[in-house]
Structures are given as C-alpha cells and as structure tokens.
Chain A
Amino acid sequence: MNAFLSQQVPLSWYLLLSAVLFSLGIVGFLIKRNLITVFMSIELMLNAVNLSFVTFARQWQFCDPSTQGCLLAQAHAVKGQIFVFFVMMVAAAEAAVGLAIIIAVFRARATLAVDRIDLMKL
C-alpha cells in the first residue's frame, strides 16, 4: 500500500490540494459578503486541514518498518485520524451554534451582509 501510495499519488499532491482548499476558504471568508457563505468557507478550511491530517496519518501508518522511527510513527499515526474526528465534532457543534447565531442576527438586523453587521465597533 505504502509503495502504491507513494508511487501513484505523491504526498505533496495531497498537501497541495489541502493548501488550495484552505486558501480558497480564506479567500471566500475574506471576500464573500453573505454570512452563510462565510460560514461555509470556514467549513472548507476545517476540511482542508482534515485532509492533511488523514494524509499524514496514512503516510506514517504504512511506513517501511526497517526505516528508523517507523514504529514510533505508526504508533502516532492513529492520532491523526482521531484528530479528524475531533475537528468534525467541533465543526458539527459549530454548525449548530453558528446557524443559530445567523438566524438570530438575521432576525435582529434583517440582513446577512457581513459589512453591515459591525456590532463590534466601539
């Protein structure tokens, strides 16, 4: 498997994809005016990070046992996957709370344009 992964699709491709997705998330977060789109951009960034987590986990899980440090890496690999679950859980909770906030904001201001929700100004 390790051989396949490293030969067929190199690690850098996964990471590149992850970086592209994360950057898209940032750009979306910064330039979109609609609060729901902004929210979705955050989800995109979270999932970009998730992708790099699982990539590394898989990479280390199937390392060559003869290489130095492989055993330790395998022991740690599962943590990457567990972290992904954490992130998903947080994302789910965030979705629930975030959507509730969005609804509340919409009720209060009758708009979802980020520029007009400048309540944090002094």
Chain B
Amino acid sequence: MNGSFHLWLIPLLPFAGFLINGILGKRLPKWLVTAVALLAPLGAFALVLIAVSSLLGPQDGPSPFPFIETCPLGWISIGTLHIDFSFVLDQLSLVMLLVVTGVGFLIHIYSVGYMKAEEGYARYFSYLNLFLFFMTVLVLAGNALLMFVGWEGVGLASYLLIGFWFQKTTAADAGKKAFIVNRIGDFGFLIGMFLLLANFGTLTFTEIATKLGQDPGWTGGVVTVIALCLLLGATGKSAQLPLYIWLPDAMEGPTPVSALIHAATMVTAGVYMIARNHVLFDHSPFALSVVAVVGAATALFAATIALVQTDIKRVLAYSTISQLGYMFLGCGVAAYSAAIFHLVTHAFFKALLFLAAGSVIHAIGGEQDLRKMGGLRKKLPVTFAVTTVGVLAIAGFWPFAGFFSKDAILYAAFLHGDAGKALWFVGLLTALLTSFYMFRLWYLAFLGKPRGEAESHHHPTPWSMLVPLLILALLSLGGGWFGIERFAGFLTPSTGARAADAGSTQLELILSVVAVAVALIGWLVAHLFYQQKPDRPAKLAAALPGAYTLLAGKYYVDQIYGACVVKPLLLFSQYFLSPVVDKALLGGTAWLLGGVPTFAGALLQRWQSGNLRSYAAWLTAGAAAVLLFVVVPWYLVWPASLDFVWKVARH
C-alpha cells in the first residue's frame, strides 16, 4: 500500500451513497439510484482488494500491517483522556472487510432484482449503504469508542431496515424489539468501556493489549468483569442467550436485509469484537469459559427450535443463532481464528441460503410457509442447485466450506481440557440437528409434491438475483479450501498464536469422520421423515405432544420475558412513571411555570384601566417617589444605609 491509499475512503464511499440516495433519491431516475447504490460498495470492495493485493507477491519488506490511519485533528481530548479517530487495518479487520464489502456488494446486486417493484427503492438502498458505512467503521475502528459508534450505527441501520415496511405493525414492532434488546447489550458494552477507561486509561485496543502484556498481575477480577460486560454487548448484537429474541422477529425485514445484516455481517460483530479484544479474554479464563458455555448453549438451544419452525426464514434465523453460537464456542476455547474462519464461511453459505429463500419467496409470490411449498425443484432449478450447495455447506459435508470451519471449532473444543469434551459433544449434537433441519427445509421446499396453491403464480428469477446466488454458491463450495492452518497462520498477528496442538492429525481425521457421519445421520433422518413417509413428523408430534408444543412455542421465552420484564415495566410506567413522574412532577412544574405569571398578570392587569387620569396619577406618584428618594436625606432616617452606600462606593 503506497501513500495514496486511504482507509477512510472505505467507509466514506457508502456514506456518500447514503447521502445521495437518502436526500435526492426520490427525485433521481431509478437507474441513477441503482448506479449510486452499487458503485458505493463496489468502490469500497475495490479498495479492500487493493489492500489485499499488497499481500501478494514477494514479502521481503516489513509487513504492511497493521496499517493505521489517524485523523490529525484528534477526536476527544478531555483532561487525561485522549481518544483518536483512528482506523486500523490488520489481518483481522482485512478478513472482516472482505466479507462485509464483498458479500455486501453481492447482496446489493441481488437487492436490485428483489426490490425492483418497491416504492421505497431509493430509501432501501440508502439504508443499505448506511449500514455498510457503519459496519466498515465498526470493523476498522482502532479503539473501543469508535467501534461503539459503528456498533450503534449498524443497530440503527438494522432497525431502519427491519421496519422497512413500517406500515406493517409486525415489522415496526420487530424493529423496535431489535433496537431495545440491543440496548441491553450496548449497556454492557458501555460499562465495559468505562471500566477499561478507569483501569487502563485508554480505549485503544493495542494499548490495552500492551498494558495487559506488561503486567502479569492483570488476571481475573477487574479483567473478568470487563470481559463479561463486553460479552453482554456481544450477546446482544450477535443474538446469543439470553438476548437472542430479537433476531427471529428481525425476519420481518426484506430478505436481502436478513441475508446481509441478520446473517452474514452485523450479527457477527459480537464475534469480531471478542476476537478484537481477545487479549482481555485470554487474561480471564472464567470469562472465556462463560463465552464457551453461552455459545454452546445457544447453538443447541436455537437448533432445537429450528427443528419445528414452519416459516422458511425463521428456520434460517434460528440456524443463524445456532451457528453464531458455534462461533462463540470457538472464541470460548480461545480458537479465535477458527471462530473467524467459521464467520467467513457462514457469511457465504448463510447469505446464500437466505438469498435462495428470498428467490423462492419471490418466485411463488410472497409465501414463506414451508408447508405450502414443495416440488419447487423443477420450477426453480438454479435456486434448487444453489440451495443444495448451501445446505451441504451448513450441514458440514466435505468438501464444502462449512465442513472445514465447523471441524476446526469442534477440534479446538475437543482439545480444550475435560470440559472441552462436553462442549465438543454439544457441538456435535448441534451439528446433527443442523443437518436434520436444513435437509427438512430442503425436502419440504424443493422435493415431494407441490402443496398449496402458492406455486401457481410463478415469477421468473431475474439475472441480478441469480448471479449473486451463483457466486455465493461457488464461495460456499470452495471457501473452506483455504484451510484453517493457513488461515490461522495469517491471523496470528491479530488474534495471537493458536494454542499448541495437543492432538494429532489422526485425531483430527477421526473427529472429522465422526462429524460427517453425524451430518449424514441427520440427512438420513430427514429423508425418512420428510421424503419416505411424510406423515411421520405428524405422528411423532402426536406421540410427544409436550415436547412438540414446547419447541413450536420456542420454549415460550418471549412469553416469559413478557411476563417477567415487559409486563412489570409497563405496569411500573402506568402506575408510577405516568401519574407521579410525568403528570405530577413534570406536569406540575410546567403548570407552575405557566400559572404563576398568569396569576400575577391577572392581578396586574387591573392597573391598565384605560383611564388616562389614573395613568397620570401613577406617573406623578412615581415622579414624587423619585424626588423623595433624591431629596430626603435617607441616612438620617436609616443610618445603616450610608454604610451600604459607602461600601458600594469603595468597591
């Protein structure tokens, strides 16, 4: 990278797109809106590729990373607190940027076809560009505060896009839910930042890492608290237990948004944040184990819910939560590179699956219920093919991308002490469930006989939607061939050296075979249930009514939160905040502020009698008073007044 390479251009291009389409979009012709919307992420992607190209060729000189760009004007400087506006490009942020701008660009292209007939076309693309702006800021941020700016910004973009069809109450509510639940996580992030400032005096990632490295005394205690606070932030953004509830509802947004924000990029920000702060987590084994347990629990929990969902997008949403759980599990066993590797491959195949689902929904006229699909294989051959690739990838079949990354996480978990074996087993169980519910989706949507009349209105899929699907299918197929060893080696400067391998190639091979076998079992069970005898699921549900209702009701978490958190809050607002604080305190103050002058005015208005002679009398009285004040020697009447005058004069 030479001197003319500017990092700040990467976020700025999408921001310019946001401004142009956001302000002028309604008046611009559609082709121009499309051009602006596509050129912004394309330019950002091209810049990232330029950065990548600096890695190619002979590496004789010093490493170009980390490439730091700081605003010379500074940003925040209060007393001893100095926070720079700085972007950092290192191996970790480069990988993230490639995913964000690359997959982001593909989904922009897809959106051109998908949102073609929408009224808010320009608004949609301005939001999408705004998202890319904030996401690139989040990724490039050199300190926690700047990351928080991006963090909040992507939350805003997510809110705007979930509620894109804001006339629909469910969509508007889902947007609010996402925003509010994320607030809880952001609270954790904020507290974590305050604690960082109080204990380290800085928010810059590299400085924190240096300070932690200098003093081996930093273990547990404060570091654990900070790490747990940051983890709370991550669970909010990345939809982990206990804050995952917003992500399934977020499917109310347009499908490309679900693919970009709620599957491929934004929800992985929590994983990225943990990897970025990995030094903190490394210094707190307890916090790390919490990360691992949260991840494993979420992975299994969400996978079980996904088993019985009937909305195609909700299946994918729970699958996303489950896969994010995998990434947390990877972080929790200190295999950050494996977690990031899974993040990348997941971005490929989950974006692919969402876009394919969008293509299905688009083709059959907006139907999302799996029970009304079926037999779409012949009608949508390309979509069927790419979905097959996506399903094989997420189920973890060799040689698809998911196999390599999932295997890396499971292997790292297996080697992580005794507790690691349990984590590995949970991961394996999740893999079984994942394979089952993904093939269930596959069978229900594409194979078997057509159910319902949904398939009758059939739209052809435009090229703008097919091309991104094909590219993502290729990436889902080959994205893992890079190999975890090379990937981990590349990331080492950012995420620290990988824990020394206690295993062997033989063990790794055995574990891989076990994982693929488990995936095959999942496929087989799905085949038996949904292809061979389609009445089996209903029979099983009838045989186990309790379990089925529990899963179909998503463990009633929404209801429990509603009863424990939402309802008490509403009651508190209704019976305390509204009557006492709002009406009595605030309303009373406002009434006083208005009432006192009104009352005084009512008294004083009697003076304005309109009677000329009364005015003249007052005038005379005033003049007489002034005369009296000037002429009468007041110091004789009230001697102390002279002291006062004297004091004033001496001043």
Contacts and interface: CB of A to CB of B under 8 A. Distances in A.
Contacts of A30: 613, 616-617, 620
Interface in A93-122: 114-115, 117-122
A122 B612 contact: no
Nearest to A41: B616
B610 interface: yes
A114 B615 CA distance: 12
A118 B610 contact: yes
Given A26-B620, A30-B617, A30-B620, A118 B605 contact: no
A29 interface: yes
Contacts of A118: 609-612
Given A26-B620, A30-B617, A30-B620, A121 B612 contact: no
B620 A122 contact: no
A56 B557 CA distance: 99
Given A26-B620, A30-B620, A114 B613 contact: yes
Interface residues of B, number: 11
A121 B616 contact: no
Contacts of B605: 122
Contacts of A29: 613, 616
B605 to A, nearest CB: 7
A65 B609 CA distance: 55
Contacts of B610: 118-122
B120 to A, nearest CB: 53
B628 to A, nearest CB: 15
Interface string B593-618: 00000000000010011111101110
A121 B611 CA distance: 7
B610 to A, nearest CB: 2
B617 A117 contact: no
Contacts of B620: 26, 30
Contact of B612 (A26, A31, A114): A114
Contacts of B616: 29-30
Nearest to B617: A30
Contacts of B612: 114, 117-118, 120
B383 to A, nearest CB: 78
Contacts of B617: 30
B611 A115 contact: yes
B276 to A, nearest CB: 70
A118 to B, nearest CB: 4
Interface string A20-61: 000000100111000000100000000000000000000000
A29 B612 CA distance: 10
A115 B613 contact: yes
A122 B608 contact: yes
B615 to A, nearest CB: 8
Contacts of B615: 120
A121 B613 contact: no
A104 to B, nearest CB: 16
A116 to B, nearest CB: 10
Nearest to A122: B608
B95 to A, nearest CB: 76
Contacts of A122: 605, 608, 610
B624 to A, nearest CB: 9
Nearest to B609: A121
Interface in A58-97: none
A120 B612 CA distance: 8
Contacts of B611: 114-115, 118, 121
Nearest to A117: B612
Contacts of A31: 613
Nearest to A27: B620
Contacts of A26: 620
A26 B617 CA distance: 9
Nearest to A33: B613
A16 B610 CA distance: 34
Nearest to A31: B613
B626 to A, nearest CB: 15
A98 B617 CA distance: 20
Centre residue among B605, B608, B612, B617 by max chain A CB count within 10 A: B612
A46 B104 CA distance: 89
Nearest to B623: A26
Nearest to A35: B612
A15 to B, nearest CB: 14
A26 B621 CA distance: 11
Contacts of A121: 608-611
26 contacts: A26-B620, A29-B613, A29-B616, A30-B613, A30-B617, A30-B620, A38-B613, A114-B611, A114-B612, A114-B613, A115-B611, A115-B613, A117-B612, A118-B609, A118-B610, A118-B611, A118-B612, A119-B610, A120-B608, A120-B610, A120-B612, A120-B615, A121-B609, A121-B610, A122-B605, A122-B610
Given A114-B612, A120-B615, A121-B610, 17 more contacts: A26-B620, A30-B613, A30-B616, A30-B620, A114-B611, A114-B613, A115-B611, A115-B613, A117-B612, A118-B609, A118-B610, A118-B612, A119-B610, A120-B610, A122-B605, A122-B608, A122-B610
Interface of B: 605, 608-613, 615-617, 620
Which 5 pairs across A and B sit closest by C-beta, in order of nearness? Answer: A121-B610, A118-B610, A120-B610, A118-B611, A30-B617
